[in-house]
Amino acid sequence: MKLLVTGGAGYIGSVVVQQLLAEGHTVEVLDNLSTGHADSILGGAIWHEADLLQVGRILDSSFDGVVHLAARSLVGESVSHPERYWHGNIVATLALLDAMREAGVPRLVFSSTAAVYGEPAGASIAETDQTMPTNPYGASKLAIDHMLTAEAHAHGLAAISLRYFNVAGASGELRERHDPETHLIPNLLKVAAGEKESASIFGTDYPTEDGTAVRDYIHVRDLAEAHLRALKAAVPGTHEIYNLGTGTGTSVRQVIDAVREVTGREVPAVEEPRRAGDPAVLVASGQRALDDLGWQPTRDIRQMVSDAWTALGSDTASPDAASSGTATPTAPTSAGGLA
Ligand SMILES: NC(=O)c1ccc[n+]([C@@H]2O[C@H](COP(=O)([O-])OP(=O)(O)OC[C@H]3O[C@@H](n4cnc5c(N)ncnc54)[C@H](O)[C@@H]3O)[C@@H](O)[C@H]2O)c1
Ligand SMILES: O=c1ccn([C@@H]2O[C@H](COP(=O)(O)OP(=O)(O)O[C@H]3O[C@H](CO)[C@@H](O)[C@H](O)[C@H]3O)[C@@H](O)[C@H]2O)c(=O)[nH]1
């Protein structure tokens, strides 16, 4: 397939591009580098340095589909600056849907999120569970899910939303490099590496076994593989939704223990109040993704921490990564001038 990957210079997008290229697809990347890195775009992919609002100048009928990862995605920021999420996620995705419809691009795989569920009642979340986001980030992604359902029914789009739980780990050198970094595991690894004095535990009074928030961490390589399956499974005129997690909950304290174990470092952690917008527990039911896509993750939290630690420690590390590795990015195409 010929595919456009939006957000392909980002953490997850770069690993999706890596796997699509390894499977022989033709890949073009649209990214404005707002949070991504040019050196994460793999050789073999054509890069358009452009904003999503300019996607109409790139898409044409030669594309078989779009994998849409470009977004703003920080829960805390979405609480303090919600307008950035309505513009950056909802309005920008509407521009993408308009451009796809106009060009006749038939399929879309979208990065949705566990944050659409809010504070779930049950122990493991199914796609049919109630959606009631507790923050504007989740609300913006839920709005897009609704947009895709309507677009599929009205105009025949083949759409799949993948609701990621907490993505972690690395694929060779491709790792999380956000600035500022808000995610738990990369922050813990910074402490282990001596780049930060101590880590923060946000909330110790949650109704969980050890009082800290529980999340379902999923390895970025397992996650990326689900995109390849979704692209093949998408059916015109339908919008399907899949939760992507391991089905295992891990508390903040348990993640800290895993980091201490893998790195052999002390990793001091300071207890702090809850972070605004954070639910207590988010754990996926993976049944639907298994039944329909045949997708099942294989890597556990220790592997995620270990791969991220190796990637942080060595520029040349490639533990069990796909063979393509990180390569020199291709020069921006003419669309680069659009930004
Ligand atoms: N990391 C997680 O745990 C997680 C969990 C659930 C869902 N997601 C979703 O997965 C996707 C990727 O997340 P990530 O962690 O790789 O984030 P990231 O910030 O590393 O990657 C996002 C990429 O999109 C680009 N981008 C953002 N807005 C853009 C725009 N308007 N035009 C062009 N490019 C733009 C950024 O430059 C960046 O390269 C996001 O949609 C996010 O909401 C992530
Ligand atoms: O320094 C830190 C950072 C985080 N946490 C806690 O660790 C958990 C995980 O936090 P983080 O790694 O920041 O991820 P989330 O805020 O859960 O959000 C991620 O996972 C969501 C799906 O569950 C996605 O929607 C988001 O895009 C993605 O950023 C939360 O309970 C945080 O409060 C800490 O205690 N200390």
Query: Ligand 2 mean position to 189 CA, how many Å?
Result: 15
23 with 231: CB under 8 angstroms?
Answer: no
Whether pTM > 0.90 for this model: the answer is yes
- Hey, which residues are catalytic here? 137
Q: Which residues line ligand 2 (CB under 6 A)?
A: 73, 75, 113-115, 165-166, 182-184, 187, 199-202, 213, 215, 252, 275, 278, 282
ipTM score of complex? 0.98
Atom of ligand 1 at shortest range from CA of 8: 39
pLDDT tens-place string over residues 238-286: 999 999 999 999 999 999 999 999 999 999 999 999 998 788 999 999 9
Share of the chain above pLDDT 70, in %: 92
Query: Ligand 1 mean position to 71 CA, how many Å?
Result: 4
pLDDT tens-place string over residues 283-299: 999 999 999 999 999 99
Run of H or E including 151: helix 136-155
User: In which band, very low, low, confident or very high, does the pLDDT at 335 lie, cut at 50, 70 and 90?
Assistant: very low
Which ligand gives the minimal distance to the CA of 227? Answer: 1
Q: Which residue has the tokens 């775009």?
A: 41
334 pLDDT exceeds 50?
A: no
User: In which band, very low, low, confident or very high, does the pLDDT at 32 lie, cut at 50, 70 and 90?
Assistant: very high
315 pLDDT exceeds 60?
A: no
Q: Whose CA is nearest to atom 18 of ligand 1?
A: 10
Q: How far is CA 24 from CA 54, 59, 105, 251, in A?
A: 27, 20, 19, 38
Q: Whose CA is nearest to atom 13 of ligand 1?
A: 12
Q: What is the DSSP code string of 208-267?
A: STTSS-EE-EEEHHHHHHHHHHHHHH--TT-EEEEEES-S--EEHHHHHHHHHHHH----
